[in-house]
């Protein structure tokens, strides 16, 4: 790939900056620039001919520069002066028209604002001079930069790369576009294959369990190390030995087969992407040193701190609590009005199918509203879900609450539960408890589980272990696998309750029979000396890491521009048109999060 070579330097105040300006302006090979003479008005022109300054090649944004004034200004400058060399191969310079000082001057002039920003200099204070040297194999310019305000100016490696990137993209703009177009097919093929593989691996991480005894031991060690740490338990505030322990855990996580394979795919994808811009190959860093994954370090610290404090966790983020929850009500309504019930069920099926156009979903929202107006209260529940999730309408929590409340007032326990969850997301705890209690009183096991969780955590309501155990037991007896799992953990650890390993085994077994992988995990490690919670912390780290991979897994569809997945873009466009928006309206696409494990609701 063709490229622009950049070299940078630095001259301290009083270290000969003026002489360097003279050197680049007059050295052999410089393209000499004559200052424009005055108009032919007799004596003035003769005076110019007699006293004209010596020839040199220095130029600025305004054209030919005054060498003497430049030397004087630089020698009197109390701040640093940066030096740059920008060089092209002869064939590139010839083909692209960069064989004279004027073409380089126009390039620098067009991008001086971006160059100033890269050097942390305000554009109004940005000063520069340059000279073009027409060497045989590598035509190049020497450039000097300083700030009129000596307090401004700071250059980092990222800033240097940004400067090169700005100029290189301009010089090779047409060729890069052609190159990208030629490469796009192969890049897309690599991208699609990598994305598919990473998607599979991320799903395995999200749902998998980590049985690594090495990570478990490292986490216990880190938890003990954190006991002696004073101050914030954040990576940047830790002492070197503690940081080293965190890094070791991250790099041990990278050895988990799914993580290792996913990280390899991630590196291959980044390699392919960077070939568009850079000639030098990427360095494949250990996971602990890769900046895109630095968030996992504080997650490691957080999990170790939870181990140290014995914080109770709830592995319920993937709980499916709205699966055919309204079917009993549908069957009951069928006997009284089968036509409206059939219309309700038909509307529900259209709304729940992701692939259906938004215009069709919007029509079904109107059908549900008509059913409500005709006295079919179950429609209010489905309308609440539409407004909550943005099915056929733009999401609106106020409208969702309005419709859920109407269905809840009609006595539907699943609507009371849905309303409670919505209010809980808004921290309206008193109302939350009331609606959960109403739903639980009608036998809603999910509502009973949520109440048990609230009273066990003691965050939003006063902690009440007996009440928590009562609600969890009620939910578990109704077959709720998450309540069974939670009771199993409580009785195994003896945390807040009297330890009862026999009851713990029974609850874990019942939960595992329903497919709860965490309950099965505890059964497998039931008799091990190390606390199962230690192994579970490693599993949580695996799930945290899956989210970081998901956030960093898919680069732009093509490097020439940021694009949105075609299917998602079509869905967004259809929704906007159905809602009455113009096709070119710009609205933010809501981010969808994965499931996992939670510390609370």
Residues 6+ apart with CB under 8 A from 419: 384, 401, 404, 405, 407, 408, 435
Final residue of a structural domain among 143, 171, 199: 171
Question: Where on the phi/psi map is residue 496: left (φ > 0), alpha (ψ -120 to 50), or beta?
Answer: left
Structural domain range at position 274: 177-309
389 with 516, same domain: the answer is yes
362 with 470, same domain: the answer is yes
pLDDT single digits (tens) 347-394: 999 998 888 888 899 999 999 999 999 999 999 999 999 999 899 999
pLDDT tier for residue 592 given thresholds of 50, 70 and 90 = very low
417 with 333, same domain: the answer is yes
CATH at residue 400: 1.25.40.10
For residue 333, being part of any structural domain is answered with: yes
Residue 546: HSE in the Cβ half-sphere, 13 Å Cα cutoff: 26
For residue 594, being part of any structural domain is answered with: no
pTM (predicted TM-score):
0.57
150 with 185, same domain: the answer is no
Final residue of a structural domain among 282, 309, 336: 309
62 with 201, same domain: the answer is no
Residue from 128, 268, 251, 118 nearest 190 by CA: 268
For residue 549, being part of any structural domain is answered with: no
Give CA–CA dist 557/522, Å, rounded. 42
pLDDT tier for residue 206 given thresholds of 50, 70 and 90 = low
How many structural domains are present in the chain? 3
Which has the higher per-residue pLDDT, 79 or 198? 79
For residue 97, being part of any structural domain is answered with: yes
For residue 120, being part of any structural domain is answered with: yes
Give CA–CA dist 126/239, Å, rounded. 41
91 with 233, same domain: the answer is no
420 with 516, same domain: the answer is yes
For residue 597, being part of any structural domain is answered with: no
Top mean pLDDT of 280-294, 504-518, 556-570, 587-601 is at: 504-518
For residue 243, being part of any structural domain is answered with: yes
Final residue of a structural domain among 171, 206, 228: 171
For residue 596, being part of any structural domain is answered with: no
pLDDT value, residue 564: 34
90 with 129, same domain: the answer is yes
Rounded to the nearest 5°, which phi and psi values hold at 473? -65, -40
198 with 332, same domain: the answer is no
pLDDT value, residue 304: 87
pLDDT single digits (tens) 138-183: 899 999 999 999 999 999 999 999 999 889 888 887 766 555 555 5
Residue 485 has pLDDT above 90, yes or no: yes
pLDDT value, residue 169: 84
Residue 24 has pLDDT above 90, yes or no: no
pLDDT tier for residue 588 given thresholds of 50, 70 and 90 = very low
Residues 6+ apart with CB under 8 A from 393: 362, 365, 386, 387, 399, 579
Mean pLDDT to the nearest integer, 106-118? 93
Alpha-carbon Rg for the chain in angstroms: 34
117 with 266, same domain: the answer is no
Mean pLDDT to the nearest integer, 577-596? 44
Mean pLDDT to the nearest integer, 238-258? 90
């Amino acid at each position: 790939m063709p490229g622009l070579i950049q070299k940078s330097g630095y001259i301290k105040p009083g270290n000969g900056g003026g002489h360097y300006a003279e050197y680049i302006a007059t050295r052999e090979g410089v393209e000499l620039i004559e200052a424009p003479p005055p108009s032919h008005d007799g004596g003035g022109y003769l005076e110019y001919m007699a006293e004209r300054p010596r020839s040199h090649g220095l130029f600025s944004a305004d054209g030919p520069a005054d060498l003497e004034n430049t030397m004087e200004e630089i020698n009197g400058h109390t701040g640093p002066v940066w030096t740059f060399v920008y060089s092209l191969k002869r064939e590139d310079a010839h083909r692209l028209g960069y064989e004279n000082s004027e073409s380089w001057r126009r390039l620098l002039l067009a991008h001086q604002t971006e160059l100033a920003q890269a050097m942390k200099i305000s554009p109004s204070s940005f000063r520069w001079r340059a000279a073009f040297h027409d060497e045989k194999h590598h035509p190049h310019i020497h450039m000097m930069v300083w700030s009129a305000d000596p307090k401004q100016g700071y250059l980092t490696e990222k800033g240097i790369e940004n400067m090169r990137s700005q100029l290189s993209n301009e010089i090779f703009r047409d060729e890069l576009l052609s190159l990208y177009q030629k490469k796009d097919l192969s890049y897309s093929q690599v991208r699609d294959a990598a994305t598919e593989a990473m998607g599979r691996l991320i799903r395995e991480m999200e749902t998998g369990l980590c049985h690594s005894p090495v990570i478990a031991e490292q986490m216990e060690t880190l938890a003990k190390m954190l006991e002696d740490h004073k101050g914030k338990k954040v990576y940047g505030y830790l002492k070197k030995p503690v940081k080293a322990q965190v890094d070791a855990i991250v790099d041990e996580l990278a050895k988990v087969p799914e993580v290792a394979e996913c990280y390899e795919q991630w590196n291959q994808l980044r390699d392919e992407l960077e070939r568009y811009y850079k000639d030098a190959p990427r360095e494949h860093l250990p996971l602990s040193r890769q900046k895109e994954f630095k968030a996992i370090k504080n997650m490691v610290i957080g999990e170790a701190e939870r181990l140290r404090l014995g914080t109770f966790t709830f592995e319920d983020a993937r709980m499916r609590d709205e699966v055919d929850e309204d079917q009993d009500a549908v069957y009951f309504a069928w006997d009284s009005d089968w036509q409206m019930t059939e219309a309700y069920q038909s509307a529900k099926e259209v709304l729940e199918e992701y692939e259906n156009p938004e215009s069709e979903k919007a029509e079904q929202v109107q059908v549900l509203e008509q059913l409500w107006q005709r006295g079919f209260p179950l429609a209010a529940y489905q309308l609440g879900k539409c407004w909550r999730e943005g099915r056929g309408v733009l999401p609106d929590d106020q409208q969702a609450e309005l419709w859920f409340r109407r269905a809840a007032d009609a006595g539907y326990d699943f609507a009371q539960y849905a309303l409670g969850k919505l209010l809980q997301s808004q921290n309206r705890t008193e109302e939350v408890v009331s609606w959960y209690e109403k739903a639980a009183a009608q036998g809603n096991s999910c509502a009973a589980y949520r109440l048990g969780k609230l009273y066990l955590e003691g965050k939003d309501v006063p902690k009440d272990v007996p009440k928590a155990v009562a609600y969890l037991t009620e939910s578990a007896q109704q077959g709720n696998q998450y309540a069974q799992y939670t009771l199993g953990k409580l009785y195994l650890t003896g945390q807040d309750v009297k330890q009862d390993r026999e009851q713990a085994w029974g609850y874990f077994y019942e939960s595992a029979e329903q497919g709860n992988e965490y309950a099965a995990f505890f059964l497998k490690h039931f008799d091990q000396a190390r606390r199962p919670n230690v192994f579970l912390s490693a599993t949580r780290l695996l799930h945290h890491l899956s989210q970081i991979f998901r956030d960093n897994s898919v680069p732009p569809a093509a490097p020439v521009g940021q694009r949105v997945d075609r299917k998602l873009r079509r869905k967004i466009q259809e929704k906007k048109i159905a809602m009455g928006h113009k096709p070119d309206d710009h609205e933010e696409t809501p981010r969808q999060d994965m499931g996992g494990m939670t510390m609370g609701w």
